[in-house]
Structure 1
Amino acid sequence: MAVLLESMLERLHKLENFFTFITNGTSLNSSQFASNKNLPPVSSVLQAKDIILGVKEDCVLTEEDMKLYPNCVGKMNWMKTMWKSDKCYASYGVDGSDCSFIMYLSEVEGFCPKKAWSGSKRIKLRDHDPINLAEIKTNLSDLMRLLVDPNERQGYAWIRMRISRMWDNWSVAAMNLNKNMAMANRPKKKILVHLGLLSKQSGWKFAENQFKGGPLGELVQWSDLISTLYLLGHDLQITSEVEQLVAILSNLPAAKSPCQSRKELPVDIIYTDIVGLTQFKKRVKGGYGKFICLFRILDSFGTEPAFNHRAFAKQNKILTSWGGQDLKPKQFFTMFPHSPDNSFMGFVVEQHLNSSMIKSLKRKKQAVVYGKNDYMWKGKRGYLDLIKEQFEIHGTVAGDNLKNVPSYVINHGILPGPELHKLLSQSQLFIGLGFPYEGPAPLEAIANGAVYINPQFIPPQNSKNTPFFKGKPTQRELASQHPYAEIFIGEPHVYTIPINKTQIVKSTLQTIIDNSRFKPYLPYEYTEEGMLQRMNAYIEHQNFCQFDSKISKWPPLEAMTNILGRAGMSCRDVCAINDLICESNHFRELNIKESLENNGIQCAGTNKSSNIYYPSYNINTEQCILQADELLFSCVGSHSLLRRLCPCRSYIKGQIALCIGCER
């Protein structure tokens, strides 16, 4: 019966091909059709008559397959012991044989190459939806309808206000980008945005404190992300409460299944934060794995590979409640370009006054202090007294009972955005106190023409000497209150100095008075158009669900330069001194002995190890060491005995997330 059915199917196949040729305008005479010479061949597969004769399916993983699909063998071993753990595997044809494992892992999950098996069965996956194209949208009222709090907690109130206030600028930027770049033929993505920090369960009370002087940096970033995604024309679903999340997931029967096929999930990308990620894990449990590659995590300070890799972090006693997520490091999106291992999302520096308005305002010899809470001023009296000798000092401090704010400070309290920007545009200085770290305010001040005094930290502050950084999943060392302003802007807009050195403070103030013209400056990457351009490139090109290393990489190879660094240097620093950016996406192709030898190294031997320093060359043993665990590819690790081989890329000045030629 099976042989007969296969014969009938083969005849149907020929008929389908014949009618395909007819409908395509190709004429065939009867002799051509009978001989079947001009028809596409039937694929060579193992058929029923072969099985009756004892022929076995041939499934072979070559050494080349192992290189291109490094996770295939590990997944095969897992399937051998776990394929009976859920009936979903059998529904895809898994029957305990190696070929069925390869069949499933190649066609459903993409961990293995399809050419490694030649079975006759083909998994019937859901047909792809027709590709809908994204178009620029500027209708604010439609976006506001997506930002309705179901529990009337007014959780979105501050976000709605910021979006509405900036909408005209956003709309103009979107239309300019559409005019200046080829924005057509972009696939429309289905995107879920879940703001875990606003949920009642988070315990952070962001919603309750958003108008009471609470931290707003995260809300700034969420506001601008939502604006960006909507303007770029993607389908959005926005949630902030666990109940909303549960309602969505309960409608997805496959969400809780351990089978990792994502064909039935009605979402392409999920933006959330660490709180939201934890809520996902609790709700989907066994099915969490299929969501992993869809996540983009908003992460203010960044998460380095050593902290992200749970087993490695636990073994090295650096596991924190924020780390151990086992995501690809590029899935973490930061406010500033902290580490090239993560993706730089950024935000938009709001501008209430245009350049001509700023120039028309008379700038006074006054300074505004960066510190909206009284405790931030503690221990800074001597520093402020020096500034008071030359400038009238203003503050925007919340509350009435202020113990640390000097009496000579003119305090305006918490100001609305337009009033704050007017005050900044009339001032010559914006005074950093050392905390908070890396906020939006210094960029706002610089954009209004004020010079920012950026406190330098000697020694640099990190998790070992500063309580604030304890538990953060990073070993970053902050050399100043605002490293981005120090490194990427600098003088004459930013002066980074040790504020406890009297003579340095005095001479810096005099330099500013003598030389500064107080011109507004804002890097393109912090404008509306810059963020739209950057996020559009991410959405189009970042795909964390691809397992085939032969699929085209982004950034492209043309933007890459491989550099062998000096011993003791991290790849971040190796690339930086060559005016390039370390690009961790390209470590994999460097992770072979030949790559090291092509850079002038003679390997006395080669081995693999799992740590953040590889691939590299040990100057002591003359051994070449390759990376054994891809999640530990890192731009930031350094070791005194190791010369690291680093993938470095070009970047656009003022848009460092993108390489030259990667704007679209």
Structure 2
Amino acid sequence: MSALSCMRYFNLHRRQGCVLLAVVTLLWLVTILNLNSSAVIHGRTEHIKLEIVKLSEQYIRALARDNEGVVDGPYAGRFTAYDLKKTMAVLLENILERLDKVEHELNITANVSSHTQGHRSKEPSLLAKDLINGEPEQCILSDKEKQLYPKCEGKIQWMKQMWQSDPCYASYGVDGSMCSFIMYLSEVEGWCPRSAWRGSSLMPTKDYTDSEHANITTDLDGLMQLLKDPNERQGYAWIRMRIKRIWPRWEAAIRNLAKTQDMTQRKPKKILIHLGLLSKQSGWKFAEMQFKGGPLGELVQWSDLITALYVLGHHLTITSEADQLGSIVSQLPAANSPCQSRKELPVHIIYIDIVGLKQFKKYVKTGYGKFSCLLRILDSFGTEPAFNLRSFAKRNKKLTSWGGQDLQPQQFFNMFPHSPDNSFMGFVVERHLNETNAKDIERNNHAVVYGKNDYMWKGKEEYLDIVNKSGLVIHGTVYKENQSKLENIPNYVINHGILNGEDLHTLLRQSKVFLGLGFPYEGPAPLEAIANGAVFINPKFDKPHNRNTAPFFKGKPTERELTSQHPYAEQFIGEPYVYTIDINNSEEVRTTIQKILDIDHFKGYLPYEYTEEGFIQRMNAYIEHQNFCQFQKQLTKWPPESNVQILFGEAGKSCKQVCWEKNLICEPSHFLETNAHSALMTKGASCAANKTLIDIFYPALDTKTNDCILQQEELLFSCVGAQDHLRRLCPCRNYIKGQTALCTNCV
């Protein structure tokens, strides 16, 4: 039997009679590796030489993986099999020594791939014979490990007090000793490094024996089956319609992307999607209002996310009612157990919104912690670190019903690239008309108003009068269930009511201007208008709108300040497609309208990141590289360090500003590299004192006291924090033009 066959057999049958087989196979390996290495060199091809080492190491690592759940050492966990492991340790140690010799003589060490070539520690460590003689293991955290795993020491202290609070801890081998705490916190929950007790990690973080790959999927019927409406409420009706309308573009996008980047080596993920906003329990009536002028931005985002995940070939489960979610969660193993093992979870990623998250917590209760790193929160307007960390937000009177989730800030996915602290998901700007259909549409002196509810027009009559007198015919798309209730729309406006997508885009193609009124903030409609060639007039605010000045943002977990109705259009697009002006300044309005009317040729513009292909590329990169579970900190950083620069900012500037001024974007996943006194001193800081504090402004140099201040709380690393007397030390990355979420080597 080959080593690979035995490995598969061992994985299938575990300990049921396989101990003898394992020993026999180990002896077989010893015999093979005892061959004179020179005979191997001269009597076998290079391929065979590689296979000997490769298969041998695969077997040994399979054995290590199989014993992954068995706590090593003389501790009290059940299934420790300690006597057997002593014997196995001697055999494994001997074989690994022989493998080292063979590798050295064949000179192939550097050619073995990173996931089959383990790195055995050359540092002094406890040997098998020492274990047999009863010598205890020493579990020590180095200073570097404390920096890379800042929560480890705190978790150890918690375990000292609470390890007897639930029997599940003892079932994992926790017995009150320091080593058992560290073993549990590294192997099960991932808060501590394995090297603190093992010397090095021999355990691969991915199962490379799994040959299944994620295949591109373009079966629309299969997706429609996933989107059957629960309880016949028509909750998914609008989403289904949108997907069907633009399905040909999705098909073309995934095929085009596959031509430009390798999509063949991806692993399929099991993904749970829960649209809490559509549930009856939410009380928001999104489902009921989707065809009556209700907000559609969130439904656009959900529609595009579901489609992208589907065409990328992942396995989806979609729910929108709390009882559906409850029936699924109730089947999850140990959902209510406080022990945070993620090894047997039947899901890799969970996409959810804040309403759905509250429902999810209700069902998993004390088991929530094991799922928290799997969460991706669809969050239209952003959640900043100061509002996300519950203890900090409560202490500083920032706690809202939306915040206090204690997640990594990048687990929140926004509609626009508001803050680098969160992840930019975006959406797809729909294009109902192709160039063939649109070439015969004549562009007239028409203006379409961005505002589908009557209250949005209130107080804007003077502005609209100027536009009307300039020679533009104004059109509206205001929901009109009862025409007599439209009190704020001037008589000269031609109101079409809520238009379907094709009719709306035809109207935009016929128009030269898309008029913003100041609200709603940051919706998809301006990008649709710009894509159809209509110039967007973006109202500028004399004072920024924020949670203190605008009722809409009250309670939202962000202190972001909007300088206009649509900051993305202002910052990332600009003239001649967008004019950001003060609509209360009559002369500025007249001048701008005249500039637009003087344009000879109106051409649409759409950033790549808002196309189907750009959206798929971005989501695929997130799925392949983003991982918020602590185990993954041992993997290669993403974005790669080669794409990141550390900049020392001027006093009073946030890292978002510091990076943007250099045409870079703040990259919060690299803040750990900056959070050291040595990093500050390398950039020229001369510290009078070294401090560690808790707030969103650090690491930084205090220019008043000349103190170097580090960040104590990892969840408070922030791109947006700024104080007048602090110079921030900022990780900044490059980005692909038109795909701001990704660095140049991130795809």
TM-score (norm 1): 0.93
Q: In the TM superposition, what whole-angstrom CA distance separates every residue of 1:485-532 from its partner, at most 9, and x where no partner exists?
A: 111010011000010111111111111111362101100000000000
* Map of 2:473 onto structure 1: 392
User: Is 1:231 matched with 2:315?
Assistant: no
* Map of 1:160 onto structure 2: 240
* Map of 2:104 onto structure 1: none
Q: In 2, Cα distance between the equivalents of 1:331 and 1:545?
A: 11
User: Is 1:197 matched with 2:281?
Assistant: no
Q: In the TM superposition, what whole-angstrom CA distance separates every residue of 1:185-219 from its partner, at most 9, and x where no partner exists?
A: 01111110010111111110111111111100000
* Map of 1:558 onto structure 2: 642
Q: In the TM superposition, what whole-angstrom CA distance separates every residue of 1:47-102 from its partner, at most 9, and x where no partner exists?
A: 66423xxx333222222221222211111111111111221111111111111111
Q: Secondary structure at the match of 1:495?
A: strand
Q: In 2, Cα distance between the equivalents of 1:654 and 1:359?
A: 26
* Map of 1:259 onto structure 2: 339
Q: In 2, Cα distance between the equivalents of 1:284 and 1:154?
A: 28
User: Is 1:358 matched with 2:358?
Assistant: no
Q: In the TM superposition, what whole-angstrom CA distance separates every residue of 1:604-653 from its partner, at most 9, and x where no partner exists?
A: 11111010100101111011111010100000011000011111110111
Say whether the 8 Å CA contact 2:333–2:345 is kept in structure 1: no
* Map of 1:538 onto structure 2: 622
User: Is 1:38 matched with 2:98?
Assistant: yes
Residue 151 of structure 1 deviates from its aligned partner by: 0.9
Change over 3 Å in CA distance of 1:356–1:39 after alignment to 2:
closer
Aligned partner letter, 2:648: L
* Map of 2:27 onto structure 1: 15
* Map of 2:176 onto structure 1: 96
Q: In the TM superposition, what whole-angstrom CA distance separates every residue of 1:287-321 from its partner, at most 9, and x where no partner exists?
A: 00000000000000000000001111111101000
Aligned partner letter, 2:475: H
Q: Secondary structure at the match of 2:133?
A: helix
Say whether the 8 Å CA contact 1:260–1:289 is kept in structure 2: yes
User: Is 1:657 matched with 2:738?
Assistant: no
Once the two structures are superposed, the pairs formed by residues 353-502 of structure 1 within 5 Å of their partners are 353-389=433-469, 390-399=471-480, 400-401=483-484, 402-502=486-586
Change over 3 Å in CA distance of 1:107–1:647 after alignment to 2:
same
Aligned partner letter, 1:601: A
Q: Secondary structure at the match of 1:614?
A: coil
Once the two structures are superposed, the pairs formed by residues 169-188 of structure 1 within 5 Å of their partners are 169-188=249-268
Say whether the 8 Å CA contact 1:369–1:396 is kept in structure 2: yes
Say whether the 8 Å CA contact 1:17–1:40 is kept in structure 2: no
Residue 113 of structure 1 deviates from its aligned partner by: 1.8
Residue 474 of structure 1 deviates from its aligned partner by: 0.2
Q: In the TM superposition, what whole-angstrom CA distance separates every residue of 1:265-297 from its partner, at most 9, and x where no partner exists?
A: 110000000011111111111100000000000
Residue 130 of structure 1 deviates from its aligned partner by: 2.2
Change over 3 Å in CA distance of 1:38–1:547 after alignment to 2:
closer
* Map of 1:134 onto structure 2: 214
Change over 3 Å in CA distance of 1:521–1:19 after alignment to 2:
farther
Q: In 2, Cα distance between the equivalents of 1:201 and 1:40?
A: 61
Aligned partner letter, 1:104: Y
Change over 3 Å in CA distance of 1:541–1:314 after alignment to 2:
same
Residue 132 of structure 1 deviates from its aligned partner by: 2.0
Q: In 1, Cα distance between the equivalents of 2:23 and 2:457?
A: 84
Q: In the TM superposition, what whole-angstrom CA distance separates every residue of 1:146-176 from its partner, at most 9, and x where no partner exists?
A: 1112311111111011011110110011111
Residue 129 of structure 1 deviates from its aligned partner by: 7.7
Aligned partner letter, 1:427: S
TM-score (norm 2): 0.83
Aligned partner letter, 2:696: I
Residue 553 of structure 1 deviates from its aligned partner by: 0.9
Q: Secondary structure at the match of 1:634?
A: coil
Q: In 2, Cα distance between the equivalents of 1:251 and 1:134?
A: 25
Q: In 2, Cα distance between the equivalents of 1:597 and 1:516?
A: 56
Q: In 2, Cα distance between the equivalents of 1:548 and 1:353?
A: 44
Q: Gapped runs of 5+ residues in structure 1? A: 1-6
Q: Secondary structure at the match of 2:738?
A: coil
Residue 453 of structure 1 deviates from its aligned partner by: 0.5
User: Is 1:57 matched with 2:117?
Assistant: no
Q: In the TM superposition, what whole-angstrom CA distance separates every residue of 1:532-567 from its partner, at most 9, and x where no partner exists?
A: 000000000000013564421111111111111111
Q: In the TM superposition, what whole-angstrom CA distance separates every residue of 1:410-431 from its partner, at most 9, and x where no partner exists?
A: 1111000000000000000000
**Which of residues 513, 516, 519 is equivalent to 2:603?**
519
Change over 3 Å in CA distance of 1:273–1:516 after alignment to 2:
farther
Residue 358 of structure 1 deviates from its aligned partner by: 3.1
**Which of residues 385, 410, 414 is equivalent to 1:305?**
385
Change over 3 Å in CA distance of 1:126–1:133 after alignment to 2:
closer
Q: In 2, Cα distance between the equivalents of 1:40 and 1:363?
A: 75
- The answer to which of 549-558 and 613-622 deviates more is 549-558
Say whether the 8 Å CA contact 1:68–1:548 is kept in structure 2: no
Q: In the TM superposition, what whole-angstrom CA distance separates every residue of 1:550-590 from its partner, at most 9, and x where no partner exists?
A: 42111111111111111111110111111110111111111
* Map of 1:282 onto structure 2: 362
* Map of 1:244 onto structure 2: 324
Give the root-mean-square deviation of aligned CA atoms: 2.5
* Map of 1:3 onto structure 2: none
Q: In 1, Cα distance between the equivalents of 2:586 and 2:696?
A: 41
Residue 16 of structure 1 deviates from its aligned partner by: 5.5
* Map of 2:350 onto structure 1: 270
Residue 14 of structure 1 deviates from its aligned partner by: 4.5
Residue 440 of structure 1 deviates from its aligned partner by: 0.4
Change over 3 Å in CA distance of 1:144–1:599 after alignment to 2:
same
Say whether the 8 Å CA contact 2:546–2:559 is kept in structure 1: yes
Aligned partner letter, 2:658: V
Equivalent pairs, count: 647
* Map of 2:123 onto structure 1: none
Q: In the TM superposition, what whole-angstrom CA distance separates every residue of 1:228-252 from its partner, at most 9, and x where no partner exists?
A: 0000110101011111111111112
Residue 478 of structure 1 deviates from its aligned partner by: 0.6
Aligned partner letter, 2:721: G
